[in-house]
Amino acid sequence: MDSQKQKGFLSQLRNILTYRPPKQNAFVLPELEDEGNEGNSEKTNKGDIGDKSNSDKNNKNESSSVQSKKSKKNTKKPIRASEWKQIKSEDKETKDKISANINVNLKVIKEKFHVPENIDVIIREFKLAQKVNAFIVFIDGMVNNEVINNFILRQLLNPLQFNGYTSGCINQYVREHVLAVGQTKVIDKYSDVVKQVLTGVTVLFIDGCNNCLAIETRGYEKRNIGNPVTENVVRGSQEAFTENTKTSIVQIRRLIKNEDLIHETIAINSTDNPMASIMYIKGIVNPKVVEEVKRRIKSIKTDLILGEGILAQFIEDRPFMLFPQVLATERPDRAASHILEGKVLIFSEGSPFALIVPVNFLALLHSPEDSSLRWQLGSFLRLIRLTGLLIALFIPSLYVAITNYHHEMLPTELLLAITSSRENIPFPTIVEALLMEVSFEFIREAGIRMPGLIGSTLGIIGALILGQAAVEANIVSPIMIIIVSITGLGNFTIPNYSLAFGIRLLRFFFICMAGISGFLGISIGFIIIIALSTSMKSFGVPFMSPGWPRTKKSADSIIRYPLWKQEKRPDAINSLHRQRQPQVSRGWVVDSNPNNKGGNKNDSGR
Amino acid sequence: MIQEGKIGVFEASSLVIFMVASKALFGAVRELVEATGPSAWYTTIISGITALIGFWIIIRLMQRFPGQELVSILKTVYGRITGSLIALIICFLYIYNAASFTREFTEAVKVFEYPLTPPSFIMILILLAVIVLLYYGLETTARTTSFFTWPLIVGMISIFFLGLPLGKLTNLYPLLGHGLDRTIITGLLRSSVYGEVIGLTIILNALQGIENFKKAGKHGIIISIIIISLSLFIYSLIFPYSVSVENTIPLLTLTRIIEYGRFFQRFESIYIFIWSVAATLTTAINLYLALSIYCKTFRINDHRVLVLPLCILLFSIAIIPKDIVTITSIYVHYLRQYGWIIFIGLPLLTLIVAAVRGKKGESANA
């Protein structure tokens, strides 16, 4: 028995010490030979799994060594790098050109779209006018089938449609006489074909033509126009953008019926091939801003741009700052008003938000409702929001500073009230403040993540029950509950989500600064934040304008002047046409006065 | 040459106001009251007017060398080596000014608010903000300063108005203080308080023209005269002479005695805020001017590399004095008493030397 046990033990020991090759069926993710070389990586991805790959590699190595020996004998003359680049680009261009031979085109398209593996890509071959070979390519689900069946295929298959054709490029004839579709475009590059097909366009190839026709057939499912979720107003428009850029652009066009409203699309260099759309009014916008927007978007090289949130991070001036330097809005009316101020609107597919650039800090505190209401009410709302922002930023830190360092500043009665409420609390104030603020953040985050009805009730339950229980258990003082609640309310008054988030994080910074050195710490922290903010720019426009640096007086900053007094566009944006309306914008004021026919030039702000 | 960007008249005036008027928040008020008695409030007006005359000399100098800032003028007038040496003396004066200011604030804040905190910790905190400001350069420093200008002015004026009911007119007597001769002589000597306005000559190119320079300097000095004179007036009005010479930080003591009913009392919170902001920004401005002179003297293109070494230098100088008495009676006293030699005397001397040697700027020659 012992010997058997000993044998067993020895064999186990030997098993541990002996090397064994890994099991054959285990999946090993192959490492790339050269991570920087994308071309090679594809090759290795395709073939190098398992043992086979190793033998393949060996074979390749052997063959390559033989080849290298051979090639040494027939060494070519070295050419310059610039020449080599030129040859390469010319080669690439010629390869990218569409062939006149339909079989070649079919092969290339199948290769490009990985047909038949890729079952969404439909290639429909047919005889044009029952004579000429042709095919159309589109992506199933991205197109409107009715358009393809009734207005493309039906027309193309009908020989009667081609009665008038005599000679020349048949593509031109098809485009002018056969197809009953609104938008068509001639394309002569495969790369363009791929881009178009991926966006829902149908591409028609005809034998004998060295170009093809891109036919507008986009017809995928999309969400209907809904109400704004994050920018609610009582008075004003109740519609929001959708994820579909085309719909959003139409929404803007419906609001700004101006022939100078330009819409341009820019392809983003990303694996998911998204398109960014920019809108602006020519003649009002500063062309340098448009150029800069295009330059930044075109220069992006990345993997995935899913909506404006990701795009914004790629084009922002100072990505390490907590404040956003672009304004995201889901409201067409707000976007339209900014376009008319001389700003540029950016849409990215996949998100119901538009980006507005350039922006300043005060624009982030504005709401579309400010303009809908009378000027006194609009101005009051802005002041409330600004107060809310300051409360959200400073109240907890001021409480921490006063209770830890500056007790003498409080009136005696208030000091006694605070002291008696904190008598049984075991934690120092800073711990208490951080504890409650973090709990509040938990409730808020959980409320958003929890589904529907539970989410909305969770906030109330969390705040009421948790707060009450914490006070009764003598973990936090009632005054801290009040402070956290006021802070939360203040934060909710900030209309811009990104700014509100930035303020939430800054609050913790100020609590820590107050905990370190009271008022001095808060002052130092505030100076740092102001210094960082004043040094920031959004597409060339100082973030803290029109105050710091001081630009020309704006009638639409913190105090919103009456609309008829807002004669000029903001100075900091440097729009080409600063005058928004004449000095007398309410003509009836002048007209009604019989003694003042034609108006007085000095009647400013009427 | 370093790229300083562009600043406007309001921002430049703010720089002057912070450099000059923030002294009223510290021991300077007591020092002047001690020297001239109840006539201190108009002694500072004499100083201000002297400074305005000095500023006129500076303007004449700058007009003689259009488009040139002070360092370049010094090099033109005195030659490269002598000019650079004089520029370095001004540079050191600004560092010294910043260091004494930092230490004065540190000691004061330690006495009144943080008795257990080591001075070095307070100085490091201030330098943290100074580093950020200096790193982003003149534009950011000027904009940040202009952001806090209105809070500073409104805060100080509100303190004055709230304290007004506590005043007694009899405290202002004798109106001539320790004597008219003493008032005038002290007023002339203490024009150094406003002398920092010379700093605008260093950043002249950022000001976009001599006209803006003139406006900014004048506005800055006049607003500072009003603030300092008002603070001296209110202080003399509220505290009798015998008490007023005893307070280390006069305006802080003033805020502590303000009381409106049971709830509205002790307005120190406003004071502490503007106090710390003023100290930090004044240090930053002074240090930036020193940095700018240094870069222009040695033709350094990027000022950012010098920020940290300069802050360490400032910390080292500021930590030398033993206590608050050494700071106020030696460091600050001599600076305020004899600073005019550099602030007003130097431009005057330069103007005379330029006239004697026939040196002029390029466009002035044409």
Question: What does the pLDDT look like over B113-146, one tens digit per residue?
Answer: 888 899 999 999 999 999 999 999 999 999 999 9
Residue A31 has pLDDT above 70, yes or no: no
Question: Would you tell me the crossing angle of helices B70-78 and B80-112 to the nearest 10 degrees?
Answer: 140
Contact A517 B277 (CB under 8 A): no
Report the percent of chain A where pLDDT is more than 90.
Answer: 34
Size of interface A-B (CB pairs under 8 A): 105
Q: Give per-residue pLDDT as tens, B57-67.
A: 899 988 888 88
Given a contact cutoff of 8 angstroms between Cβ atoms, the answer to whether B148 and A526 are in contact is no
Q: How far is CA B336 from the centre of its chain?
A: 10
Residue A117: partners with Cβ closer than 8 Å, 6 or more residues away: none
Residue A602's pLDDT is 47
Sorting pLDDT into bands at 50, 70 and 90, what band is A45? very low
Residue A340 has pLDDT above 90, yes or no: yes
Stretch (H or E) spanning A327: strand A327-329
Q: Give per-residue pLDDT as tens, A382-429.
A: 999 999 999 999 999 999 998 888 887 787 888 888 888 888 888 888
Whether chain B has a CB inside 8 Å of the CB on A320: the answer is no
Whether chain B has a CB inside 8 Å of the CB on A509: the answer is no
Residue A454 has pLDDT above 80, yes or no: no
Q: Which superfamily does CATH assign the domain made up of B9-365 to? A: Amino acid/polyamine transporter I (1.20.1740.10)
Task: State how far residue A517 is from chain B, nearest Cα, in angstroms.
Answer: 8
Residue A272's pLDDT is 79
Q: Give per-residue pLDDT as tens, A144-160.
A: 889 999 899 998 888 88
Residue A30's pLDDT is 64
Of A92, A5, A31, A568, nearest in space to A341 by CA: A568
In angstroms, rounded to a whole number, what is the distance separating the alpha carbons of residues A516 and A513?
Answer: 5
User: Cis peptide leading into B174, omega within 30 of 0?
Assistant: yes
Q: Which of B117, B140, B208 to mutate to test the interface with A (most CBs of A within 10 A)?
A: B140
Report DSSP letters for A217-263, one per residue. -B----PPP---SSS--SSS------S-HHHHHHHHHHH---TTEEE
Pick from A405, A523, A542: CB nearest B276 = A523
Residue B102's pLDDT is 92
Whether chain B has a CB inside 8 Å of the CB on A13: the answer is no
Residue A492 has pLDDT above 50, yes or no: yes
Mean pLDDT confidence for A94-115: 89
Of B253, B210, B265, nearest in space to B70 by CA: B210
Q: Give per-residue pLDDT as tens, B140-177.
A: 999 999 999 999 899 888 888 888 888 888 888 888 88
Mean pLDDT lowest for which of A228-232, A264-268, B269-273?
Answer: B269-273
Task: State how far residue B268 is from chain A, nearest Cα, in angstroms.
Answer: 6
Task: State how far residue A316 is from chain B, nearest Cα, in angstroms.
Answer: 18
Of B299, B306, B318, B304, nearest in space to B95 by CA: B318
Given a contact cutoff of 8 angstroms between Cβ atoms, the answer to whether A518 and B114 are in contact is yes
In angstroms, rounded to a whole number, what is the distance separating the alpha carbons of residues A412 and B262?
Answer: 8
Q: Which residues of B touch A404 (CB under 8 A)?
A: none
Given a contact cutoff of 8 angstroms between Cβ atoms, the answer to whether A48 and A57 are in contact is yes
Residue A354's pLDDT is 93
Task: State how far residue B236 is from chain A, nearest Cα, in angstroms.
Answer: 24
Other Cβ atoms within 10 Å of B198 Cβ, number = 26
Sorting pLDDT into bands at 50, 70 and 90, what band is A531? very high
Whether chain B has a CB inside 8 Å of the CB on A390: the answer is no
Residue A91's pLDDT is 77
Q: Which residues of A touch B116 (CB under 8 A)?
A: none
Q: Which residues of B touch A521 (CB under 8 A)?
A: 125
Residue B272's pLDDT is 83
> Which residue is closest to A524 within chain B, CA to CA?
B129
Whether chain B has a CB inside 8 Å of the CB on A21: the answer is no
Task: State how far residue B8 is from chain A, nearest Cα, in angstroms.
Answer: 7
Residue A597 has pLDDT above 60, yes or no: no
Assign 3-state DSSP to chain A and report helix, strand, coil percentages, each to 5: 50, 10, 35
Q: What is the mean pLDDT of chain A?
A: 83
Whether chain B has a CB inside 8 Å of the CB on A582: the answer is no
Residue B87's pLDDT is 92
Mean pLDDT confidence for A371-375: 88
Q: Which residues of A touch B272 (CB under 8 A)?
A: 406, 519-520, 523
Q: Which residues pair with A205 in a beta bridge?
A: A135, A212
Mean pLDDT lowest for which of A53-62, A253-262, B268-277?
Answer: A53-62
Task: State how far residue A368 is from chain B, nearest Cα, in angstroms.
Answer: 27
Mean pLDDT confidence for B79-107: 91
Sorting pLDDT into bands at 50, 70 and 90, what band is B222? very high
The torsion angles phi and psi of A353, rounded to 5 degrees, stand at -120, 150
Q: Give per-residue pLDDT as tens, A144-200.
A: 889 999 899 998 888 888 888 877 778 888 888 888 888 899 998 998 899 889 888
Residue A251's pLDDT is 92
Query: A329 by DSSP, 3-state: which?
Result: strand
Report the percent of chain A where pLDDT is more than 70.
Answer: 86
Mean pLDDT confidence for A212-220: 89
Q: What is the ipTM for the molecules in this complex?
A: 0.93
Please state whether beta strands A269-270 and A301-302 pair in parallel, antiparallel, or not at all (unpaired): parallel
Pick from B117, B146, B148: CB nearest A517 = B117
